[in-house]
Copies of this chain bind each other. A is one copy, B any other.
């Protein structure tokens, strides 16, 4: 397992409820891809959402997001952290 940060853009105006619903949609299917979404942060003004996950591959992260209806614009492995 590795750690990934993925980024969604174009989510301008996203609400707390929409973020929670999107996260819940990921959580509902993530186990099928061996992924766990740990945290997400959103900037409604710029429409940017960051998701932190543990997953076997970046493709697995993207598969969950695609199946949940919100593909990421970027998925980065982040092997280093402090």
Q: A80-B19, A82-B19 are in contact. Are A5 and B43 (CB under 8 A)?
A: yes
Interface membership of chain A positions 22-62, coded 1 if the CB is closer than 8 angstroms to chain B and 0 otherwise: 01000000000000000111111110101010000000000
A52 to B30, CA, bound (A): 24
Could you list 27 A-B pairs, sorted by A, with CB under 8 Å? A3-B41, A5-B41, A5-B48, A14-B80, A16-B80, A19-B81, A19-B82, A20-B82, A23-B82, A39-B81, A39-B82, A40-B82, A41-B52, A41-B78, A41-B80, A41-B81, A42-B78, A42-B79, A42-B80, A43-B76, A43-B77, A43-B78, A43-B79, A44-B79, A45-B77, A48-B76, A50-B78
